[in-house]
């Protein structure tokens, strides 16, 4: 087994339960680290700097882009969002598997730069269930729910660009599956280049 | 989760313990089927037709090639070896995960025709340990051991064309890992095309 951690991007429709899933994964297994994104948007009530996001000024964000300190970044509604590189790289080097909760644009940017990243898409058991979950929150207007469903239709177009697709029906089962999928990555040949080189050298010394 | 089974090719150096590993996998988990190869070579003492191999005449083997009944085939030392297609396809259709114990040539033929096949290479913990295992059998001459080590050097050149590499140090642990690696394949997006299509259709019907 290699020592370096695996980078995992988790995406999913609003209402897929990916936040809960990630929280459960971090609580139940010791070897994960969570990447916190930075953003130029204002914190919402209840959000804490360094927990939901690092809230930074636009000038600071543009400096991070220039200095290549972001693994990916994107702009929505005039606000920037990005993944700070140093934390992720430090955790990976320490052997932690690092979780990134980002959307498809960021996911594909990451995959292009770091092809060993695992892209996991989380899905509710059905579209009906997704609609129920979005309505069941009771906190959103009909317009917001319609907009999220519309967004889900768009996101569904790119689902097959992910590596794995997990149906989040039963939380416990889904957490165990996600953990299994991530752990199996450590045994990919692409993660074990030095083990292969060592074996080749050793074998040759016998012949 | 998709209903169709996963096709798994297991290869490894002589002395890697892949035979024991496969037997343990079949005994411990219910959802596997083992593909039996056919060959034109003579049965060795103790080998049973339909257990180690299907022993067939050369004429019969050539007919199977002509009628496209083999998933892969190769010729060693003037003898043919191949994987009969009908059994494997039937088991996959029934949702069984099918294990093929074949060498690198066959593995790559299979991967080219069936890209969703998982190629797993099994390795002893070290080359030293491999040598010990080969000598420890006590049944082989020095020439045979040397030939097997030489073959291992050649096989090691292509190890990185496999998807996964498992070190068979502790059998129980290795069986569990192999099972985990295979089961995670069911959640690849490429195995879930119909689930994705269904979700897209359902979502569109809401907007």
What is the residue-level pLDDT of chain A in tens, covering all 207 positions? 448 999 999 999 888 889 899 999 999 999 999 999 999 999 999 999 999 999 999 999 999 999 999 999 998 888 999 999 999 999 999 999 999 999 888 999 999 999 999 999 999 988 888 888 888 767 778 888 888 888 889 889 999 999 999 999 999 999 999 999 999 999 999 989 999 999 999 998 887
User: How confident is the model at residue A204, as a pLDDT?
Assistant: 87
In this structure, are residues B13 and B128 in contact, taking their beta carbons and an 8 Å threshold? no
Numbers of helices and strands, H then E, in chain A:
8, 9
User: How confident is the model at residue B146, as a pLDDT?
Assistant: 86
- C-alpha span between A137 and A146 (Å, rounded): 14
Q: Which domains does chain B have, with CATH numbers?
A: 7-205 (3.40.50.300)
CA distance A139 to chain B (A): 20
Number of CB atoms found within 10 A of residue B93's CB: 11
Chain B neighbors of A127, CB-CB under 8 A: 199, 202-203, 205-206
User: How confident is the model at residue B2, as a pLDDT?
Assistant: 47
Chain B neighbors of A150, CB-CB under 8 A: 207
Q: For B124, name the nearest residue in chain A, comparing CA atoms only.
A: A199
Going from the C-alpha of A6 to that of each of A1, A31, A33, A92, B177, the distances in angstroms are: 12, 10, 10, 7, 17
Chain B neighbors of A149, CB-CB under 8 A: 203, 206-207
Residue A89 token pair: 């790289």
Name residue, tokens 């994987």.
Answer: B83
Mean pLDDT value across residues B54-62: 97
Chain A neighbors of B135, CB-CB under 8 A: none
CA distance A121 to chain B (A): 9
Q: Closest CB to B153: pick one of A163, A190, A203.
A: A203
Query: What pTM, to 2 d.p., does this model score?
Result: 0.89
Interface test with B, best of A21, A151, A152, A203 (most B CBs within 10 A): A203
Judge: A187–B207 Cβ closer than 8 Å, yes or no. Answer: no
Lowest mean pLDDT among B62-66, B82-86, B126-130, B195-199: B126-130
ipTM of the complex: 0.88
List, in order, residues 6 or more apart from B31 with CB less than 8 Å away: B5, B95, B96, B97
In sequence order, which ranges of B29-170 are alpha helices (DSSP H)? 58-66, 85-93, 104-113, 127-136, 142-156
Judge: A204–B157 Cβ closer than 8 Å, yes or no. Answer: no
Judge: B160–A126 Cβ closer than 8 Å, yes or no. Answer: no
Mean pLDDT (chain B) is 92
Interface test with B, best of A187, A193, A201 (most B CBs within 10 A): A187
Q: Count of A–B CB contacts within 8 Å?
A: 118
β-pair partners for A80: A75
Query: CA nearest B42: which of B71, B77, B88?
Result: B77
Residue A204 token pair: 């040759």
Q: For A125, name the nearest residue in chain B, comparing CA atoms only.
A: B199
Backbone angles phi, psi at B132, to 5 degrees: -60, -45
User: How confident is the model at residue A1, as a pLDDT?
Assistant: 45
User: How confident is the model at residue A140, as a pLDDT?
Assistant: 76
User: How confident is the model at residue A2, as a pLDDT?
Assistant: 47
B33/B130: higher pLDDT = B33
Chain B neighbors of A146, CB-CB under 8 A: 207
User: How confident is the model at residue B168, as a pLDDT?
Assistant: 93
């Amino acid at each position: 087994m290699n020592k370096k951690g695996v980078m995992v991007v988790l995406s999913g429709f609003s209402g897929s339960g990916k936040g809960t899933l990630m929280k459960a994964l971090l609580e139940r297994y010791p070897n994960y680290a969570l990447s916190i994104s930075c953003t130029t948007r204002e914190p919402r009530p209840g959000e804490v700097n360094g927990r939901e996001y690092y809230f930074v000024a636009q000038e600071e964000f543009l400096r991070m882009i220039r200095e290549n300190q972001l693994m990916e970044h994107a702009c929505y509604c005039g606000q920037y969002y990005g993944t700070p590189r140093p934390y992720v790289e430090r955790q990976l080097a320490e052997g932690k598997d690092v979780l990134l909760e980002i959307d498809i644009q960021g996911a594909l940017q990451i995959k292009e730069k770091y092809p060993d990243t695992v892209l996991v898409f989380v899905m509710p058991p059905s579209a009906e269930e997704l609609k129920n979950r979005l309505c069941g929150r009771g906190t959103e207007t009909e317009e917001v729910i319609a907009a999220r469903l519309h967004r889900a239709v768009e996101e569904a177009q790119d689902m097959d660009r992910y590596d794995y697709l997990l149906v989040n029906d039963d939380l416990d089962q889904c957490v165990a599956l996600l953990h299994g999928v991530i752990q199996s990555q450590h045994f990919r040949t692409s993660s074990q280049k030095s083990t292969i080189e060592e074996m080749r050298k050793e074998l040759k010394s016998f012949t």
